[in-house]
Each structure stands twice: as structure tokens, then as C-alpha cells.
Amino acid sequence: MSLARCFILCFIFFPVSSATHAQTDSGDSYTLKGDIKGISDGIIKLSYSDVKGNWVVDSVNIENGHFQINGKISEPTFARLQLQNESDTLDELNQIFLFLEIGDMMVHLVHNNFKDAIVKGSRSHSLLSEHEGSKEDLAYSIDSLKSKLSAVRDSSFIGSETERKRIVDDLIKQISGLIDLIQAIDLQFVKHNKDEVVSAFLLWFHVDKMDIDTVEYYYNYLDPLIQNTHYGKEVSKKMFEAKNIAVLNVGDIAPNFLLTDSNGISFSLDSLWKDSFVILDLWATWCIPCMEMAPLLQEISEQYANDELRVVGVSFDFNEQKWKSEISKNGNGKWKHALLGVTSDESKDFIGLFNIASIPAYILIKKGGIVLGKYEMLDREADSGLFVDLEKYLREN
């Protein structure tokens, strides 16, 4: 299983820090050389979070199908390598995730098929790739179930609405079971590979989906040196926050927040949920799963238009023009939109207040501001939680 397939379709993580930096001068040197079949020029971009939590981005030119990126890191570091396109949006066909290592690395790429990249010189990358390969059958099973789910939801489905709902619920139950199994396999890897940075990374990857006692149980298996890596420290930070800092949970009063819409008009969130149900749609144009979920929000908005439901799109885009263009192009300008960006203090405050680790994410709020549900890691074929809860609460109110 390619790393791109596993991680980009599951999570788009926010940078730990709101700052964006060029290459750092601290740490030890790495060199990433590469070649790309199918193109001779262009720009290749490498991005990752360094040990200080800064979001590092480095871009270099492709010359005659070759490129070289030099930098410094302090430990094996998970990174995204992507071909920069004209619109500077995320292109799933031309991006991979890889573990950078100190020293010399080589990556062989094919244009529009980065998922089959060959990476040499990174032990951590090889270890994680082998582990992801062990879950490939499960991933294909999930894809198959999602295809069936999509077909059942299609308007051409023959059968009663009761039968459709029964099949949908059963398929979602199967998908959830396989996702839980993948997590269990990852945690067993952590347990049996206590001296690998990859283990700390996998635990960090799952930390927001586990209760704190389970996180602590597996964290204690890690070697002290691994606990002291960037990913180990991030897990430790999450455990501390869970024990000592109040976070937003279902049943809590949602925090109020002042936003500015796409027309430059300020509005507060509490002004919306005074007399309406509210869905906060947290997204960005660079987030592929977010864009795949956009039609779902359109359906929800149209289906419940007469049920006092408001949708508010909160974007973490870098570019205001691309954000406005996407709103206009996809017809989702019918609800309110606000741009927070990624690097602003405002976005950092919002992420902290609403306890969001990844996008796409959705928060369902009832009249009066009570949080009814938080939905992360959704995709177009596994979205029933939001639909089911919304229908239930609208019926009750």
C-alpha cells in the first residue's frame, strides 16, 4: 500500500505550529535526489514539520527530469513531496509521503503516478512501507465496501427506503470494523517496535481516535529515546492536554467565534445557532478529501433547507483568491463562508477552541449552541454519522 494512499485519504493534519519556514540551519544534513519520468521541467515541493513544530516548505526546480533538495533534520521526519501545478492545489496523482533520513536518499517518480515511487536510502520509509503493505488487503476490502455503499446510495437503487437504510448501516458497520482492525495492527507494530521512530509516528497518527489510557499504555512501550523524538513529544503533549486542559466534547456549549464572511461582513457563530441548527464545515481547497466531501454538504444544504439548518464553511486555505474561486465554481456559495488560513493566530485559536486535529471535519450544533456531534475522518462513502444524527435531531426538534 502506498503511503500516499494510506495517509492522504485518512487525514490532513494541521501543522503543529502556525508558522511557515524555509529550511532550518540546525540538525544534520540530508540530500534528496530524484528523477521524474514523463516531464522534463517544473517545480517539486517538499514540506514537513520540524522538531520545533515549524512547518518547513522547500521548492526546487526540475531540470531535465531531475531535482535535488538539500536540508537539515534532527531525526527521521515524515514529509510530503509533491509536484507543484499551475493552480498550486493538491494533486493526489503527483504527491507522495516519505520519511526523510539524515544522509543521502534517492526517489524515482513517474508523472501522474507518484504512488508507485521507489525510495532508497531511508530505513524508516522502508519500514513503514513494508508495514503498510501488510494492510493492503484490508484497504482494498474497504474500497470495495465503499463502492457498494456508493451504489446503494445511488438514486437508481431498486428497493424500499427501509431496505436501503439496512444495507447502508450494514456496510458502514463493516467499514468501521476494518478501520478499527487497521488501527489495532498499527498498535501491535508500536508494541513490538519500541525503538523505532515509525512507532512514535503511528501512535501520533492515531492519538486523537483513542482514549487517553490506551494512548498511555502504548506510549509506555516506546524506548525513552523514541519518546523524546518529535512524534513522541507530540503524543506526550496530547496526553498532558487530555488530563489537564478542558477540550470541546459532545454535549458542551460551543465557543463563540467572530468570523468575516466572503463579502467582508463580520458575524458571530452564536448569532446563527440562536434559532437554527448549524454545521461547521472545516475544509480547504488543498485538502483532497475535503473537496470530495463538498457534494455531500451541497446535498445536506438542499435536503434540509426548510428545517432551520445553516451551514458555515470555515476554510484553512493559504490563498484567498483560490478560496473564493472554489466557492463560486462549486455552487456552495449559498451558505456562509469564512477564511482563517493556516498560519494566522485566528486559525490557531479556532483549532484550539474546537479541538480539531484534521480536516475535513464537521461540527453539528443545535439551537442554543450545544454540540451534538463532531465528525472527523469522513469521506464521501462513509458519512452516515452526520446524516443520521442530523435527521434524528431535526425530528426531535
Confirm if 129 and 3 have CB atoms less than 8 A apart.
Answer: yes
Most confident of 24-33, 35-44, 141-150, 384-393: 35-44
152-172 residues labelled b (16+ CB within 10 A) or e (exposed)? bbeeeeeeeeeeeeebbeebb
Reading the block at residue 217, the C-alpha cell is 499504555
Helix ranges (H only) for 59-209 are: 123-133, 136-153, 161-192, 197-206
Q: Whose CA is closest to 324, among 314, 311, 337? A: 337
- 3-class SS letters over 2-13: CHHHHHHCCCEE
Rounded to two decimals, the pTM is 0.74
Domains (ranges, CATH) in the chain? 3-121 (2.60.40.1120), 136-244 (no CATH), 258-396 (3.40.30.10)
Q: Residue 302's CB: how many other CB atoms inside 10 A?
A: 9
**Interatomic CA distance for residues 202 and 112, integer angstroms:** 27
Q: Which residues pair with 128 in a beta bridge?
A: none
Q: Residue 283's CB: how many other CB atoms inside 10 A?
A: 27
Separation of first and last alpha carbons in the chain: 45
Q: What is the pLDDT of residue 9?
A: 37
Task: Concatenate the DSSP letters of all residues of 270-308 into one string.
Answer: GGTTTSSEEEEEEE-TT-HHHHHHHHHHHHHHHHTTTTT
pLDDT of residue 209 exceeding 80, the answer is: no
For the segment 219-232, what is each residue's pLDDT rounded down to a tens digit? Answer: 999 999 999 999 99
Q: What is the pLDDT of residue 164?
A: 80
Least confident of 4-18, 245-259, 278-292: 4-18
Q: What is the pLDDT of residue 86?
A: 65
Least confident of 46-50, 160-164, 202-206, 246-250: 246-250
pLDDT of residue 259 exceeding 70, the answer is: yes
pLDDT of residue 392 exceeding 90, the answer is: no
Instruction: Indicate if the alpha-carbon torsion angle 56, 60, 65, 70 is positive or negative.
Output: negative
Cβ neighbours of residue 229 under 8 Å, at least 6 residues apart?
Answer: 51, 75, 197, 200
Reading the block at residue 347, the C-alpha cell is 486559525
**Interatomic CA distance for residues 244 and 246, integer angstroms:** 7
Cβ neighbours of residue 344 under 8 Å, at least 6 residues apart?
Answer: 18
Most confident of 5-9, 246-250, 260-264: 260-264
Q: What is the pLDDT of residue 4?
A: 44
Q: What are the φ/ψ torsions at residue 215 (nearest 5 degrees)?
A: -60, -45
Q: What is the pLDDT of residue 381?
A: 44
